[in-house]
Amino acid sequence: MKNIGRRDFLKAAAAAAFAGAAGLRAETGGSDKLRALSHSLLREWCGGLERLQIKSGPRERLGGIKCPACDFIHGRIGDAVYPFLSLAKRDGNSRMLDAGMMLYGWMENNVSQPDGSWINDFSNPWKGTSVFGAISLAEAVKHCGGILEKSDLERMRLRLGRAARFIASFIKFGRPDVKFDGPNINYLAAAAHALALSAEVLDDPKLMAEARKFGRGSIKYITPKDRLVFGETQPTGKTSPNGCKGVDLGYNVEETLPSLAGYALAAGDSEVLEAAEESMKAHIEFMLPDGAWDNSWGTRNFKWTYWGSRTSDGCQAGFAALADRDPRLYTAALRNLELLESCTENGLLCGGPHFRSGGIPACIHHTFAHAKPLASLLDSPAKAPAAPPKLPREERYGVKSFDDIRTHLVSKGPFRATVTAYDTEYYDLKNGHPTGGALSMLWHEKAGPIFAAGMTEYAVIEKPNMQSDAGMDSMPLAPRAELDSGGKKYRNISDLSARLSHFEDGEAYVFEAASKLRDAGQNSPDSGEVECRARYEFRADEVAVKISCPSESGKSAKIIFPLIASSEEKFSADSPTSARLEKKGCRVKISSDRPMKILPTKTGRVFNFVPGFEAVPICVEGGSAEIKIEVAQRAGGKFPNRTTPSGENYGRRFGVCAHKRKPLRSAAPQCLL
C-alpha cells in the first residue's frame, strides 16, 4: 500500500466544507441527539478496532484486525473501511485514514476473489456477503473520495465495478421473473442497495436498472396482514403448518429494511420507499421502551442479542432516513443507539447487556458491522424531528396480535410481554426459537427484562459468527416445563402444534396455552404424550405464570423460571416460596405456591449468548408451579444514567454497567440450594 502523507491529508480535510469547525459543531450539537451520539460512538468503536489492528508482520496479516473473542481475523472486517475513512474525514484524523487504507489492503490480499466477490471467512467461502462489502466500499468512495489520493480512489472505483457486476449475476434469482429461492431475503434487499449506490458512484445506468429489479422484487416478501418482511428461511416462501412465513425481526430491522430505504432513496423509487416505510412502522411495534429489539420469537433467534442481531448492520441510517415520514422511526434509531452505547466497553460493542458482568469477551463483528450505519447516517441529510414521539410499546394499549407470526404483545401497566406460538423454523434448525405458547419476553418499566427467551437449545449455527458456550453454565432463558427422559429433554416450548388463546378477565389479560412436551424432533417421551398447560395473567401490579404437567411414570417435569439477573445484582430468599432481586432503584419479588430451588451453577448464574443475559435458574419440582412477579421501587432509589424523552432511565440501569463477574453476594437458604 502506498503510504498517504499526513500533510496532504490534512490539507484535503481542511479544504473540505464539512470539516470546518463550525460544520462539526452544527453536526454534533443542537437537538439532534442521534447525530451527536452517532459521531461519539463512531469515534469510540473505530478507536477500539484500530487499537487491535495488526500494523507489522507478514503481508497476509498486515492491516487485519484480530478478534479478541474468536482469536482470528473475521473475513468481513473489510466492512470497517468506510467507518474508518468517514471518521478520518470528519475529524481530520490521519491515523483513521491509515487504518482504513491498511484494512482495505488486507481485504484485497486475503478475501478478494477474481470474480469480483469477497468470501465471508477463511473457513466459509460463501460469497453472498459481497453485497455488504460493496455497500461499504461504495459509501467510502461516494463520501470519502476527497481525502484519498487519486490512485487509491481510482483503484477503489475499479474494484467496486467488479463487485457490482458479480452481485448482478450472482443474485440473479432476485429478478421479478425468477422465483427467489436463493439465500435469505436480506441479500435481495442488500443487492438492490449495493447496485444503486454503485450505479450512482460509477455513473452506470445499467447497474441502476438491475438495482430496480432487486428492489421491486424485495417488496413482494411482505406479509399481507401484518406487513412484516418474510423470507429469512429456506425456501424463502416457506409456509408453516399454521400458515406462518419465515420472519426474523433482527435481520429485518437491521439489514433488509435499511437496505430497502437506502436503495429507494438512491434510485428515487417511491413504490419501494412507501413499502419500506409501511413495514418499518409494523416492525417498531416490537421495540421495547429501552431500545431493545424483541426478537424473542424470530426464525434467526440464534443471532439475537438484546439490542438487535449480532452480525447485521444496524437500523440507524435506514430508520433515520425515513424519520421525516414518521418521526417515531427517529425515536427507534436513537433509543436503540443509546442501548448500544450502554453495551460498549473498551471501544467494542458487547454481544449483550451482561457480557461484562459475565466475563465474556466481545466479538468485534458486532462493532464493525454496527459502525457502518453510523457513518452512513452522519453522511446523510437526515434531520431530527422537533419533538421525537413515544414508541408504540410505551403506550399502555392492552394486547396487540400479529396473526402472521402467531405472536401477541401485551402492554399492561408497567409490564410489557410477548407470548408466542410461532411455528416456522429456520431451514432444518430444530429448537431454534421458543414456541408452544411461550412467554418469550417479560419486561418492566423499572426493572427492565425479567424473562427473555433465546434459543430453546443453544447451538453454534454459524461458526464464524457465533461464540461457543462450551464449559459454561448455560440453559434456555424461557419459563418452561422440562422433562429429562431417556437422555433427551422434552419441553412445552418445543411444541410447534400448541394451541394459544387469550381473553380479558376483569382487570387482567389472560393467555392460555395447551401443548405437549416435545423434543427437538417433535417426539414425545417413550412412555407417551405428556400434556402441558400454561396460563399467564397480566395485571397492572403483578404477573402470574402457571405451568402444569402430569407425572410421567412417576417422574415429573421440572418447572423452570430463569430470572434475568446480572451477577452484580443481589438475589436472596425470604422464605422457601419467596425470593427477591435487588436492582437499581427497584426490587423484583418472585413468589411461588411451592418451594423453589436454584439449579446447580458455578457462580449462582447461568449465561446465554442469546440474548446475552445472566439469569438465576429457579426451579420448582413436581410438575406444577404458579409464580407471581411483582416490582416495587426502593425508597430513595435513583437512576443516575441517561434518560429517555419521557424522563425515564433505560440502558445502563438494567445491570449492564457491571465490569467483571462476581459471586453471589448472599447465600440463599437451604430450600433455594
Residues 322 and 432 in one domain: no
Examine residue 1 and state whether it is found in any structural domain, yes or no: no
For helices 130-144 and 364-378, angle between their N-to-C axes, nearest 10 degrees = 40
Examine residue 640 and state whether it is found in any structural domain, yes or no: no
Q: Is 505 exposed, middle or buried (0-12, 13-18, 19+ CB in 10 A)?
A: exposed
Q: What is the mean pLDDT of each run of 10 residues along the chain (673 residues)?
A: 50 46 42 95 98 94 96 96 98 97 97 96 92 98 97 98 95 52 87 98 97 94 96 90 96 98 98 98 98 97 96 97 97 98 97 95 97 98 93 97 98 98 94 97 98 94 89 94 94 97 97 97 93 97 96 82 97 96 96 97 95 97 96 62 36 32 30 33
Cell of 31: 437537538
Residues 152 and 178 in one domain: yes
Q: Which of 441, 421, 532, 422 is nearest to 483 (CA)?
A: 532
Q: Distances in Å between the alpha carbon of 384 and those of 79, 326, 372, 399?
A: 27, 11, 20, 30
Q: Which of 92, 99, 45, 52 is nearest to 74 (CA)?
A: 52
What CATH code is carried by the domain that includes residue 437?
Answer: 2.70.98.70
Calpha distance 546→495 (Å, rounded) = 17
Q: Is 602 exposed, middle or buried (0-12, 13-18, 19+ CB in 10 A)?
A: exposed
Provide CB contacts within 8 A for 414, sequence distance 6+: 444, 445, 446, 540, 631
Q: How many C-beta atoms lie closer than 10 Å to residue 115's C-beta? A: 13
Q: Is 399 exposed, middle or buried (0-12, 13-18, 19+ CB in 10 A)?
A: middle
User: Number of structural domains, the chain?
Assistant: 2
Examine residue 631 and state whether it is found in any structural domain, yes or no: yes
Examine residue 642 and state whether it is found in any structural domain, yes or no: no
Is residue 399 within 8 Å of residue 408, measured between CB atoms? yes
Examine residue 198 and state whether it is found in any structural domain, yes or no: yes
Residues 408 and 517 in one domain: yes
Calpha distance 74→122 (Å, rounded) = 8
Calpha distance 7→24 (Å, rounded) = 21
Indicate the average pLDDT of the chain.
89
Is residue 264 within 8 Å of residue 215, measured between CB atoms? yes
Q: Which of 538, 328, 580, 326 is nearest to 418 (CA)?
A: 538
Reported in sequence order, the residue ranges of 236-368 that DSSP labels E, i.e. its strands, are: 304-305, 308-309, 344-345, 348-349
What's the pLDDT tens digit per position in 165-217? 999 998 765 444 445 456 899 999 999 999 999 999 999 999 999 999 999 99
Per the document, the length of the chain is: 673
Q: Is 5 exposed, middle or buried (0-12, 13-18, 19+ CB in 10 A)?
A: exposed
Residue with the three cell numbers 477503489:
156
- Per DSSP bridges, beta strands 407-412 and 398-402 are antiparallel
Q: Distances in Å between the alpha carbon of 654 and those of 95, 154, 586, 650?
A: 36, 48, 10, 7
Calpha distance 150→145 (Å, rounded) = 8
Calpha distance 220→226 (Å, rounded) = 14
Cell of 550: 402430569
Is residue 552 within 8 Å of residue 527, measured between CB atoms? yes
Residues 349 and 471 in one domain: no
Q: Is 585 exposed, middle or buried (0-12, 13-18, 19+ CB in 10 A)?
A: middle
What CATH code is carried by the domain that includes residue 115?
Answer: 1.50.10.10
Residues 443 and 365 in one domain: no
Of 377, 392, 407, which one is at a domain's C-terminal end? Answer: 392
Query: What was the pLDDT predicted at 452?
Result: 98
Residues 355 and 436 in one domain: no
Query: What was the pLDDT predicted at 30?
Result: 53
Query: What was the pLDDT predicted at 31?
Result: 78
* Cross-strand bridge partners of residue 482: 491, 558
The pTM of the full predicted model, rounded to 2 decimals, is 0.91
What's the pLDDT tens digit per position in 443-489? 999 999 999 999 999 999 998 889 999 889 999 999 999 999 989 99
Residues 128 and 48 in one domain: yes
Residues 110 and 237 in one domain: yes
Q: Which of 311, 286, 293 is nearest to 353 (CA)?
A: 293
Examine residue 643 and state whether it is found in any structural domain, yes or no: no
Query: What was the pLDDT predicted at 171?
Result: 74
Is residue 33 within 8 Å of residue 137, measured between CB atoms? no
Is residue 511 within 8 Å of residue 494, measured between CB atoms? no
Of 329, 359, 392, which one is at a domain's C-terminal end? Answer: 392
Is residue 197 within 8 Å of residue 160, measured between CB atoms? no
Q: Say whether 47 sits in a helix, a strand or coil.
A: helix
Query: What was the pLDDT predicted at 236?
Result: 87
Examine residue 641 and state whether it is found in any structural domain, yes or no: no
* Cross-strand bridge partners of residue 586: 583, 633
Of 369, 392, 415, which one is at a domain's C-terminal end? Answer: 392
Residues 380 and 417 in one domain: no
Outline where 111-227 has alpha helix (H). 130-144, 150-170, 185-202, 205-218
Q: Is 336 exposed, middle or buried (0-12, 13-18, 19+ CB in 10 A)?
A: buried
Domain that holds residue 485: 397-635+648-672
- What is the 8-class DSSP label of residue 280? H
Is residue 53 within 8 Å of residue 99, measured between CB atoms? yes
Q: Is 556 exposed, middle or buried (0-12, 13-18, 19+ CB in 10 A)?
A: middle
Calpha distance 525→170 (Å, rounded) = 46
Residues 379 and 404 in one domain: no
Residues 384 and 418 in one domain: no
Is residue 551 within 8 Å of residue 624, measured between CB atoms? no
Phi, psi of 408 (to 5 degrees): -130, 140
Residue with the three cell numbers 473489510:
78
Examine residue 596 and state whether it is found in any structural domain, yes or no: yes
Is residue 35 within 8 Å of residue 381, measured between CB atoms? no
How far is the first Cα of the chain from the last one, in angstroms, to the nearest whole number? 61
| Four-CA torsion 60, 369, 458, 627, nearest 10 degrees | 150
Query: What was the pLDDT predicted at 173?
Result: 53
Residues 340 and 421 in one domain: no
Calpha distance 377→41 (Å, rounded) = 12
Provide CB contacts within 8 A for 65, sequence distance 6+: 49, 52, 53, 54, 73, 74, 77, 80, 103, 364, 368
Is residue 658 within 8 Å of residue 611, measured between CB atoms? no
Q: Which of 624, 393, 409 is nearest to 509 (CA)?
A: 409
Query: What is the DSSP code string of 530-545?
Result: -EEEEEEEE-SS-EEE
Q: What percent of the chain has pLDDT over 70?
A: 88
